[in-house]
Amino acid sequence: MANAQGDFIWYELMTTDIEGARAFYGAVAGMEISAASDMPGMDYRMIGYGGDYVGGAMALDADMIAGGGIPLWIGYIAVADVDATAQAIADKGGRLFLPPRDLPGVGRLAMLADPQCAPFYIMHGTSDAESTVWQDNAVGRWGWNELWTPDQPAALDFYGSIFGWRQEGAMPMGPRGDYLFIMQGGQRLGAIGPSSDPAAPAYWRHVFRVPSIGPAHEAALSHGATEIEGPHAVPDGDFVMYGKDPQGAAFVLVGKE
């Protein structure tokens, strides 16, 4: 695995209607979800953009839903040792949803959550190639990761001790507190923000860059998105919008006007 510990190396959509998601994200974000499953034993599709893979989409079956699975986008974080990292996460108060296991030809992974219940995967891939699905300011890539949590100090301690992330800089958000920027190596990975509801579980939002936010916003509205916030301006001349797809998975898009 070429990526460093703590890199985001994959993003996955879990959905109750994979064909509906295929139509929605194709129209809204230009994502190309494959027409047939790419993995035996489950309906798992690869997501492309401009000829490169940028993630995967998995259909939630009845057993997954009965076990608490819901539509969402989830990130995969690179680690050197999945088993040791899973144990370290448990020791820090995290939760284990899917024990470490091997996917032949792909790597070893586990699904967990931080102590405030924000889920994520950890993975050690078998490929020697570097994942480039996370790239700052690249159209058709994931370029920002937001954790919204009721306990920012605890989150900084948890993710710093497990993945080596560190805080560097902040943006005031008024009475809610500060939006704390987090660094992975020499790159700004994203931020940790204060939850609007302190009693609610923490959650991750992963931000996908589109060429222009205006057409994406219009397409989202016309293709059944709900609870849309924005588009509104953010630094560096970009505009961001938050919404939920027709199956209920929260998504975030960023782009020029």
User: Domain with 121 in it: what CATH number?
Assistant: 3.10.180.10
Tokens 């190396």 -> residue: 9
Closest by CA position to 110, among listed 38, 162, 157: 162
Instruction: Report pLDDT for 153.
Output: 97
Q: Where are the alpha helices (DSSP H) in the chain?
A: 18-29, 62-66, 82-91, 152-163, 213-222
Instruction: Report pLDDT for 235.
Output: 83
What residues contact 210, with CB distance under 8 A and at least 6 apart?
29, 30, 139, 140, 216, 253, 254, 255
Residue ending a domain, among 100, 125, 150, is 125
Is residue 89 domain-shared with residue 147, that is, in the same domain?
A: no
Tokens of 64: 């997954």
CB-CB contact of 240 with 231 (8 Å): yes
Instruction: Report pLDDT for 74.
Output: 98
Within-domain flag for 137: no
Is residue 183 domain-shared with residue 249, that is, in the same domain?
A: yes
Tokens of 82: 């999945």
Strand 166-172 relative to strand 178-184, pairing:
antiparallel
Within-domain flag for 131: no
Q: Give tens-digit pLDDT for 81-106.
A: 999 999 999 999 999 999 999 998 89
Which regions in the chain score pLDDT beneath 70?
A: 1
Instruction: Report pLDDT for 48.
Output: 97
Cα four-point dihedral sign 246, 140, 13, 120: negative
Is residue 45 domain-shared with residue 120, that is, in the same domain?
A: yes
CB-CB contact of 39 with 46 (8 Å): no
Within-domain flag for 182: yes
Instruction: Report pLDDT for 236.
Output: 84
Is residue 163 domain-shared with residue 98, that is, in the same domain?
A: no
Within-domain flag for 153: yes
Gap between the Cα atoms of 96 and 90, Å rounded:
7
3-state DSSP assignment of residue 51: coil
CB-CB contact of 232 with 187 (8 Å): no
Give me the domain span that covers residue 79: 8-125
What residues contact 175, with CB distance under 8 A and at least 6 apart?
none
Tokens of 204: 């991750």
Q: Give tens-digit pLDDT for 151-179.
A: 999 999 999 999 999 999 999 988 889 99
Is residue 186 domain-shared with residue 121, that is, in the same domain?
A: no
* Domain tally, the chain: 2
Instruction: Report pLDDT for 38.
Output: 78
Instruction: Report pLDDT for 197.
Output: 87
Instruction: Report pLDDT for 70.
Output: 95
Is residue 238 domain-shared with residue 151, that is, in the same domain?
A: yes
pTM summary value: 0.96
Instruction: Report pLDDT for 171.
Output: 93
